[in-house]
Amino acid sequence: MTDHVIPYGRQHITDEDIAAVAEALRSDYLTTGPRVDEFEEKFAAYIGAKYAVAVANGTAALHLCTLALGVGAGTRVITTPITFAASANCVRYCGGEVWFADIDPVTLTLDIEKVRELIASKPRGYFHGIVPVDFGGYPVDLEAYRALADEHDLWIIEDACHAPGGWFTDSKGTKQWCGNANYADLAIFSFHPVKHIASGEGGMITTNDRELYEKLLLLRTHGITRDRGNLRYPDHGGWYMEMQQLGYNYRIPDILCALGISQLSRAAEGMDKRQEIAERYDQAFKAISTEKIRVHGVPGEAIRHAFHLYVIEVADRRGLYDYLRDRGVFAQVHYVPVHTMPYYRDIGYEEADLHLSEAYYSRGLSLPMYPALTEQEQQFVVDSVKAFLNA
């Protein structure tokens, strides 16, 4: 027995992280400062994208993406119901319409065939964008999505919150890192404490598109610029700043970027730990019949799963959840399907036919998965699951 709580995910803070934040606090900048640029540069290099824009959180990142892409009334965007609500909400912030398509029950990500069917069921030009999500850390095949998007003139925002460091292999045999924006127009990340890289609150947008990048910079800070070369009315004087668009304050403080940079330097290490933990779960559960437990590791040569989550499916999910909870193991369910939330029901999703998402929701449970999880703690989780399943 352990006498402490084991959550499904949590941050890992080291003395180096603390020293980095303390150093930022002693410096000249609390908010926009040199650590923001440094975090952006290092993150873009890690992921393999040309540009990165650090923002207040992952939700702000999504909102800035929909703004930069011009989402508005009449814009129709397709996403998955098995995601955090913000992947869909960002379309609503701009007055657009969300359309959900069902998931692939093996990868638990948006099923491209379902998206294709949905697009085909409407007149040409009906849809405008797709938001695929690397759910749990499973890297979506964005090359396939790009081909589909190009056929129908759609943009793609990859919600890569679960997958920094994950990759898939494209048809040329090249490893494509999640969020590198080689196939998506924009990609986003979150630095919430349960994610791979924690900064408290924080987010990042990556892109290879210079024009979108510049729009994002402007929108992040009220639509205001002081770039002398870009003013409409240039001759007011040195104090002059120009508000050219309706933007927001979605900046991230320098202090948080100090933590983000420090955490990023250990991201590869954290990823290795996640792979090891997943491997141990796989080993522990593989002898149990798939009637009792189904695992969602999906390892393989052609992808690197980023294992934000380790998801299992069991028949008595509620029973297992409660049993684990009584023993101090705080497993979690990802996610209550977004279209079943009262807000979405109230705006017309009551009748949506997304039965694979709903079936997964009735059985899915995310077991503890984070780099600081000890072998002993993991063994306790495994033993508890097996005890519940009589396996």
Helices of type H across 334-374: 342-344, 355-363
**Binds ligand PLP (CB under 6 A): choice among 139, 203, 337, 364:** 203
Asked if 83 is part of the footprint of ligand PLP (rule: CB under 6 A), the reply reads yes
Nearer to ligand PLP, 57 or 180 (CB): 57
Asked if 80 is part of the footprint of ligand PLP (rule: CB under 6 A), the reply reads no
Nearer to ligand PLP, 88 or 385 (CB): 88
Nearer to ligand PLP, 58 or 81 (CB): 58
Answer yes or no: are the C-beta atoms of 105 and 364 closer than 8 Å.
Answer: no
**Binds ligand PLP (CB under 6 A): choice among 86, 271, 295, 389:** 86
**Binds ligand PLP (CB under 6 A): choice among 8, 84, 100, 177:** 84
Answer yes or no: are the C-beta atoms of 177 and 165 closer than 8 Å.
Answer: yes
Written as one string, the DSSP assignment of 236-275 is: S-TT--EE-S---B----HHHHHHHHHHHTTHHHHHHHHH
Asked if 196 is part of the footprint of ligand PLP (rule: CB under 6 A), the reply reads no
Among the listed residues 195, 273, 292, 386, the single catalytic one is: 195
Region binding ligand PLP by CB under 6 A among candidate stretches 11-19, 51-59, 150-158, 367-375: 51-59
The residue type of 110 is: L
**Binds ligand PLP (CB under 6 A): choice among 35, 76, 128, 192:** 192
Residues 6+ apart with CB under 8 A from 6: 328, 329, 330, 368, 373, 377, 380, 381
For ligand PLP (CB under 6 A), the number of binding residues is 14
How large is the C-alpha radius of gyration of the chain?
Answer: 22
Nearer to ligand PLP, 190 or 366 (CB): 190
Distance of alpha carbon 368 from alpha carbon 329, whole angstroms: 8
**Binds ligand PLP (CB under 6 A): choice among 24, 88, 101, 133:** 133
CA distance to 32, 33, 67, 238, 242, per residue, from 225 (Å): 14, 16, 17, 13, 5
Q: Which residue, 168, 159, 169, 170, is CA-closest to 136?
A: 159
Distance of alpha carbon 274 from alpha carbon 14, whole angstroms: 17
* Smallest separation (angstroms) from ligand PLP to the CB of 160: 8
Asked if 87 is part of the footprint of ligand PLP (rule: CB under 6 A), the reply reads yes
Distance of alpha carbon 160 from alpha carbon 132, whole angstroms: 9
* Smallest separation (angstroms) from ligand PLP to the CB of 199: 9
Asked if 221 is part of the footprint of ligand PLP (rule: CB under 6 A), the reply reads no
Structure token pair of residue 241: 């700043």
Which residues, numbered 271-310, are part of the site for ligand PLP (CB under 6 A)?
none
Q: Is 292 marked active-site?
A: no
Phi-psi region at 386: left, alpha or beta (left = phi > 0; alpha = psi -120 to 50): alpha
Nearer to ligand PLP, 247 or 260 (CB): 260
Asked if 9 is part of the footprint of ligand PLP (rule: CB under 6 A), the reply reads no
**Binds ligand PLP (CB under 6 A): choice among 11, 57, 80, 357:** 57
Nearer to ligand PLP, 84 or 138 (CB): 84
User: Does residue 364 sit in helix, strand or coil?
Assistant: strand
Q: Where along the sequence are the contacts to ligand PLP (CB under 6 A)?
A: 57-59, 83-84, 86-87, 133, 159, 161-162, 190, 192, 203
Which of the residues are catalytic? 195
